[in-house]
A and B are shown apart, each in its own frame.
Chain A
Amino acid sequence: MHLSDGDRSMLEGEQGDAAGFAMQIVTAFAEAVGADALLDISRAHIDGCLYHGAVSLDFVERLVAGGGRVRVPTTLNVGSLDLIHPELVHLPAEEQRPAERLMRVHEALGCQPSFTCAPYQTLFRPAFGEQIAWGESNAIVFANSVIGARTNRYGDFVDLCCAMTGRAPAWGLHLDAGRRGQILFRLSGFPASQAPTDSLFIAIGLIVGRRSGERIPVIEGLPRPRDEDQLKALGAAAASTGAVALFHAVGITPEAATLGDAFAGGTPEETIVITPAGVTEALVELSSVPAGSPLTAICLGTPHFSRAEWDRLLVLLRQTQPTRPIPIYVNTDRAVLQQLEAEGAFRNLTDWRLIPVADTCTYITAILEKLDGVVMTNSGKWAHYAPGNIGVRVAFGELEECVASAAAGRVIRGVA
């Protein structure tokens, strides 16, 4: 592998103990993936705030002790706690302490205390073509696909080491050759009037994730999305059922103006047809209860709710009069929440049981009051992971159905 003078200087510890340690890990990772060089990155997003044991904390504290400092703007993914609303998380004190310490100690390295899984909808959004090193599967797929920034799937330790060195292995999705489509998904049999519903995008994401394997998917025939949040939902679903880090949607995403562009002149290794029946089937699998079932809560905001998603929700809440309201948990970025509060956006909603959650997510930590009931969500990712992670049963629906169900305390279907 070719190292620059700067890389070698860091590796030999000339730029501090922490940078040397981080460069040792970046180069070892690069050797293992077969990269022949490193390249500069301009941003990082660190998925290191969930506690996997003492090693999680020991690693970051070692970097702090070695005088470490991130070299590029670096955001943090969610942690196990809501530092804005600590009372929401029901963890025993001995689990809270290291989890909180882990979140705080990253700040000592110069990371932004963003604690969001949607860094692409913050001030730290990268631009088209930027080389970045990001962790968190939904953020990776959004950055690559919707923005056209370039990152591989980084994670544990390596994302932070890239941030500490400003370097990443030059391989895979950082390079043109690694970004061309390999497998084609063609929508077929849908009426011309097919509405671009959230659930359509989510179902396609679930199918694409399941069938792509390690190959880069290209989707043809996708209706024009209402906004980028629908592509966010598609990517998050695809990264839940599979390992998708980049998808191209022909005529929609920036590197796929045409089918030819998406495959960079090559041909698909395989073509899979997605039909309306396939979409229905994928959605049915997300729900384990029938319409009318009593609900204990609604969970929204996986990935974290954007400002545009909040605006859609707030309009629906104001249009509906709840009769038997149940808690509506909404995971979101602390900066978005702060802005909504400053604008008084939650005024006159006292008939609802609206519970904004910041810094974490309702499927990874102990927030929900009752886990023995059914929870409704509009998120394909939440519906995919929550039964395994926290043991709840799930009903999946559109945002409109979630609000109607929240008002009635039971699953309501067919609200447009």
Chain B
Amino acid sequence: MRRPAKVYVAGEAEAAMIVLSVPLSFWGGIDAATGRIIDHSHPALGTSIAGRILVMPSGRGSSSSSSVLAETIRRGTGPRGIVLAHPDPILTVGAIVAGALYDLRCPIVICSIDGLRSGDILRVSAAVPDAAEICLIESLHAH
């Protein structure tokens, strides 16, 4: 299944999705050392986002989430890419800073997240760093 998406942070990624129905704040919500969800009020408490493509409706909470996202990308405990239904300035900045400082790409694209399922593989090809650009993301069933 392919769908169009708007590119906020460019990059290529292919990984299994983790789909969260409730927005997660990286600050106070993710342990940067492990990539695990530590927010006790979050339904996915204990799950790891490391190496996955994180899919959720929107971002949430403190601006310190920019730092925490960038720090997880630096440590290799962060998501491979992020798909949101609504743009989020805080996460956008975190991913751009990590890309600029460490040359580690965590693409962020905005599209409908209906029908995306945890565990399925998602391929994001968002080569052009232009928010007006539409890319196609492709979800494949897990093998």
Q: Give residues in A with beta carbon < 8 Å to B.
A: 21, 24-25, 28-29, 31-34, 47, 52-56, 58-59, 62, 135, 153-158
Contacts and interface: CB of A to CB of B under 8 A. Distances in A.
13 contacts: A28-B8, A29-B92, A32-B8, A52-B64, A52-B67, A52-B71, A54-B71, A54-B74, A155-B63, A155-B66, A156-B94, A157-B66, A158-B66
Given A52-B68, A157-B93, 4 more contacts: A52-B64, A55-B74, A155-B64, A158-B66
A279 to B, nearest CB: 27
The CB with the most chain A CB atoms within 10 A, among B66, B70, B97, is that of B97
Q: Is chain B's binding surface mostly helix, strand, loop or mixed?
A: helix
Contacts of B64: 52, 155-156
A157 B98 CA distance: 11
Contacts of B75: 53
The CB with the most chain A CB atoms within 10 A, among B65, B68, B88, B96, is that of B96
Interface string B41-71: 0000000000000000000001111111011
Contacts of A21: 100
A301 to B, nearest CB: 22
Given A52-B68, A55-B98, A28 B92 contact: yes
A31 B97 contact: no
Interface in B62-91: 62-68, 70-71, 74-75, 87-90
B101 interface: yes
Enumerate the 4 nearest inter-chain pairs by beta-carbon distance, A residue then B residue, closest first.
A155-B63, A156-B66, A52-B67, A53-B71
A173 to B, nearest CB: 14
A242 B70 CA distance: 25
A21 B101 CA distance: 10
A25 B93 CA distance: 6
Interface residues of B, number: 28
B101 A62 contact: yes
Contacts of A59: 70, 97, 101
A156 B89 contact: no
B8 A156 contact: no
Nearest to A156: B66
Contacts of A54: 71, 74
B93 A156 contact: yes
Contact of B63 (A33, A34, A58, A154): A154
Contact of B93 (A29, A34, A58): A29
Contacts, number: 84
A32 B86 CA distance: 9
Interface of B: 8-9, 32, 62-68, 70-71, 74-75, 87-90, 92-94, 96-98, 100-102, 131
A158 B66 CA distance: 9
Contacts of B68: 52-53
B77 to A, nearest CB: 11
Given A32-B8, A157-B97, A55 B63 contact: no
Given A32-B92, A54-B71, A156-B67, A25 B8 contact: no
B100 A62 contact: yes
A55 B63 CA distance: 15
A62 B94 CA distance: 15
Nearest to B65: A156
B93 A55 contact: no
B17 to A, nearest CB: 22
Given A53-B32, A59-B101, A62-B101, A28 B96 contact: yes
Nearest to A51: B67
Nearest to B102: A58
Contacts of A155: 62-64, 66, 90
B93 A28 contact: yes
B101 to A, nearest CB: 5
Contacts of A52: 64, 67-68, 71
A154 B63 CA distance: 7
Contacts of A25: 93, 96-97, 100
Nearest to A155: B63
Contacts of A158: 63, 66, 89, 93
A135 B90 CA distance: 13
Given A29-B92, A53-B32, A54-B74, A153 B97 contact: no
The CB with the most chain A CB atoms within 10 A, among B66, B71, B88, is that of B66
B30 to A, nearest CB: 12
B67 A58 contact: no
B97 A32 contact: no
B70 to A, nearest CB: 4
